[in-house]
A = this chain, B = another copy of it.
């Protein structure tokens, strides 16, 4: 949680003046956001969200991210929509950083999701998958299967600091996943980071999806697997099959899973658990305990990984038989 880059009143007033939004009324640096600097900006036309992209986002990826948000918004997905300036540009520069202004979405994220929220996020994800099919740009999943072994190699020498025995578990898992990863699943644009803090609700109604900075092209069912991991475990680490069933039902209310996707789900869930285990372990080892950013516990995903290893069929996640 941090504002990494300070923007002066003069610079921002000039920046806002290049849009058709009236005058700048106020702006506040937002504490949320691990990767980028965010400001909530009020203009005469309403509230907007300003992001300055810091070093963890590759500038070359920004046309993909901004183009995707605009494409999805035009296709009816409620997500932040990049605002174009008087010259038609979405991507700008401010205070020496790449910057973009997007629409502000009302809504709050749910700290304790219930089954009805899982249903809603499942449906929204399926709609996103469908809407993304007509998007022309593509981006490889840097944190997909091919990226896991190099990521692991970068911290292997210190991995046992995270949990004793972690090296053996990860290596065994990588071998298994690489040998069995399904190659021919339906694929397209996925969100790839659909955690509760990236999904807004107004009351029980889902009001929007945010944070598309991990979006990429990969298997739709992998996105489902990651989202099951993120939404359907309780704080005591137990899987909640009612929530899993709701999420999968919500998804299938908009897009029906294929047979190969149904079959692959347990393996994909293992992969998704490993992906978050790896990035959290990396961050854990590379973040000072007193840093600005709070560290997320890697152990949580080690437990989820162990759970998925015991799953034999997607019905154990609550997936119902095809009608």
Contact = CB atoms under 8 A, between A and B. Distances in A.
Interface of A: 1-3, 8-10, 12-13, 23-32, 40, 42, 47, 104-112, 200, 202-203, 288, 290, 292
A26 B29 CA distance: 15
Contact of A25 (B1, B42, B106): B106
18 contacts: A1-B2, A3-B31, A9-B108, A10-B112, A23-B202, A24-B108, A25-B106, A25-B202, A26-B105, A26-B107, A27-B108, A28-B28, A28-B32, A29-B32, A30-B30, A42-B47, A288-B290, A290-B290
B31 A2 contact: yes
Contacts of A2: 1, 31
The interface centre, meaning the residue of A2, A25, A108, A109 with most chain B CB atoms within 10 A of its CB, is A108
A51 to B, nearest CB: 13
B200 A26 contact: yes
Contact of A40 (B23, B40, B290): B40
Given A29-B1, A29-B30, A31-B1, A10 B200 contact: no
Contact of A106 (B1, B26, B106, B290): B26
A195 to B, nearest CB: 14
Nearest to A105: B26
Contact of A292 (B8, B106, B111, B292): B292
Contacts of A12: 108
Contact of A30 (B9, B31, B290): B31
Contacts of A110: 9
A118 to B, nearest CB: 16
A8 B111 contact: yes
A287 B107 CA distance: 36
A106 B42 contact: yes
Nearest to A1: B3
Contact of A13 (B31, B108, B292): B108
Contacts of A13: 108
Nearest to A196: B9
A203 B16 CA distance: 13
Q: Name the residue in A13, A111, A203, A288 with the highest tally of chain B Cβ atoms < 10 Å from its Cβ.
A: A111
A111 B109 CA distance: 34
A203 B31 contact: no
Contact of A203 (B23, B32, B109, B288): B23
A201 to B, nearest CB: 8
Nearest to A104: B26
Contacts of A112: 8, 10
Contacts of A3: 1, 31
